[in-house]
Amino acid sequence: MITLLHNPRCSKSRQALALLEERGVDVTVRRYLDTPLDGAELRALLSRLTAEPRALVRSSEAEWKALGADADDPDQVVDAIVAHPKIMQRPIADDGSRAIIGRPPEDILALLD
């Protein structure tokens, strides 16, 4: 089972979902803007990511820039995303053991190996 942290307005997120569905993967879609992750969920997600905390942030978003937070500090990244869920990078595929940011969307296919 793969959970896709998804924003249906994002083309990369839609592409990632389509890739998983085309392969018949059992996917749970979580619209993280409608049901944001809490601090504990984000910390657990960070521990499963194959990237540094800064990769979890959409650094071009005005909310992130206004915070002046340290993108290398996991606590500041988590607090920022809890306060402003839209600054979280997307899509993210998570199988419970590993999580991968789908930039490009094809990267998430590594979870199928």
Which residue is it, tokens 């994002």? 10
Helix (H, G, I), strand (E, B) or coil at 16: helix
- Please state, as a whole number, how many other Cβ atoms lie within 10 Å of the Cβ of residue 76: 16
Residue 4 pairs in a beta bridge with 29, 93
Residues serving a catalytic function are 10
